[in-house]
């Protein structure tokens, strides 16, 4: 089989390598320390919530992100290596690469930081402060009570199995 004419030239190979680097960039860019901003987080052995939690990770803790696979971050923390969902890092969104968008352009849609935080597991302190300022008469006691509720991971796993839930 003969190689295309453009692949015989160095510029052709550089273009192919450059495109490959762009497609791999999200995983490469993710490497490094990131701060867990949501409470009640765990490292899982597999990238799904139905897996067994390996270790709890408190809010405010920094973990070493090794790579990204979709919405899951492979992390290392206190000698444990496993997976955490991106919601654990509320202010951080996984970088996305859209090949058609890169090649042909397209409309840009930007998500507001408030929307990202609300879509995560809970309010960040900054978002909550903003809502408190806009709604000073609102009662947040029940929100605080719900945020303080914790479920034992063994009971959660039993609930998932008993209910036949699939992530």
For residue 119, is it within any domain?
yes
| Residue 11 domain-assigned (yes or no) | no
Full residue range of the structural domain in which residue 50 is found:
23-97+109-150
Domains contained in the chain, number:
1
Classify residue 53: in a domain, yes or no.
Answer: yes
Does 85 fall in a domain? Answer: yes
> Over its length of 167 residues, how does the chain's per-residue pLDDT go in tens digits?
555 565 566 666 555 655 555 555 444 444 688 999 988 899 999 998 878 899 999 999 999 999 998 889 999 999 999 999 988 886 544 455 556 655 665 555 555 555 554 555 455 677 777 778 888 887 777 777 777 778 787 788 888 888 888 75
| 58 within domain boundaries | yes
Full-model pTM: 0.44
Residue 147: phi, psi to the nearest 5? -65, -30
Residue 131 sits in a domain of what CATH number?
A: 2.30.30.40
Is residue 161 in a domain? no
C-alpha closest to that of 128 among 119, 118, 137, 120: 118
pLDDT tens for 107-133 read: 555 555 555 545 554 556 777 777 788
159 in a domain, yes or no? no
CA distances from 19 to 14, 75, 106 (A): 9, 26, 19
pLDDT for 81? 95
Question: Could you report the per-residue pLDDT of 38-52, keeping only the tens digit for each?
Answer: 888 999 999 988 788
72 beta partners: 69, 85
Residue 126 in domain: yes
Tokens of 162: 């008993």
């Amino acid at each position: 089989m003969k190689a295309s004419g453009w692949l015989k030239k160095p510029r052709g190979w550089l273009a192919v390598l450059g495109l490959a680097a762009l497609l791999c960039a999200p995983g490469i860019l993710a490497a490094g320390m990131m701060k867990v901003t949501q409470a009640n987080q765990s490292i899982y052995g597999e990238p799904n919530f139905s897996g067994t939690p390996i270790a709890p990770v408190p809010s405010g803790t920094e973990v070493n992100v090794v790579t990204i696979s979709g919405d899951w971050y492979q992390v290392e923390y206190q000698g444990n290596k496993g997976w955490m969902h991106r919601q654990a890092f509320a202010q951080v969104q996984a970088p996305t690469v859209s090949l058609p968008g890169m090649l042909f352009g397209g409309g840009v849609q930007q998500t507001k930081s408030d929307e990202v935080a609300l879509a995560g597991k809970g309010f960040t302190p900054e978002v909550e402060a903003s809502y408190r300022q806009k709604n000073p008469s609102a009662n947040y006691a029940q929100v605080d009570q719900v945020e303080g509720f914790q479920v034992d991971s063994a009971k959660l796993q039993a609930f998932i199995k008993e209910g036949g839930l699939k992530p």
